[in-house]
Amino acid sequence: MPMRLAVCVSGRGSNLVALLEALTGSAEAEVVLVLSNKADAPALDRARERGIPAEAFENFRDAAEWLERLARHQVDLVVLAGYLKLVPAGVISAYRGRILNIHPALLPDFGGPGMYGHHVHEAVVRSGVPFSGATVHLVDEEYDRGEILGQARVPVLPGDTADTLAARVLGAEHRLLPAVVLAAAAAGRPVPLPAPLSFSSH
């Protein structure tokens, strides 16, 4: 039986699309539900275009609503892909060890409150570090502090802006997230990748 995935989104859904494309034809995992805190998130349309149930929360803070929606679709694994709100504590405890998040930096650096989207890449460029990348980790009450399952590294290049770095990191995210999800499906539960991925492509 394929692992049943719910993907939570807030925006354009490029990570959702990358995951859906990577799972095309896979018997190991399938996206059975896409959830968003925003009824007008373009990512919901990406799901609908592919015949996948796509729902906006009535109240994204309500654990009972989350659990009812996840149970209705018999979800095994929850994937936060560009989801920008906190997951209710009741959901984290009910799905402990079964909620993944992708963060556009090499955690534990450049994570934590306020570190999302553009803010991350601005901080990385400003810091002068030579590398950045993406991290997929388990979500627990500490949010960006859960067990790291996979990382993909990209160079920070001279003259990089937050935008040019964001684009390079996003390309790495689109390869890292499917790799971690497929490893979880093969193992029956989230497992760490054997080694970090690294992409030198600009």
**Catalytic residue positions, numbered:** 103
Rounded Cα–Cα distance for residues 16 and 7 (Å): 7
> Contacts with ligand GRF in 150-189 (CB under 6 A)?
170, 173
Of the ranges 6-14, 89-97, 154-162, 179-187, which one interacts with ligand GRF (CB under 6 A)?
Answer: 6-14
Q: How far is the CB of 1 from ligand GRF (least distance, A)?
A: 27
Rounded Cα–Cα distance for residues 134 and 137 (Å): 10
Comparing CB distances to ligand GRF, the nearer of 67 and 162 is 162
Per rule CB under 6 A, count of chain residues that contact ligand GRF: 15
Rounded Cα–Cα distance for residues 168 and 155 (Å): 9
> Contacts with ligand GRF in 94-123 (CB under 6 A)?
102, 104, 117
Per CB under 6 A, the list member of 5, 23, 82, 180 interacting with ligand GRF is: 82
User: Does 135 help bind ligand GRF (rule: CB under 6 A)?
Assistant: no
Q: In what order do the strands lie in the sheet with 197-198?
A: 54-56, 29-36, 3-9, 77-80, 99-103, 131-138, 148-155, 197-198
Judge contact between 75 and 33, C-beta under 8 A: yes
Q: Cβ neighbours of residue 108 under 8 Å, at least 6 residues apart?
A: 144, 145
Q: Which residues bind ligand GRF (CB under 6 A)?
A: 9, 11-16, 43, 81-82, 102, 104, 117, 170, 173
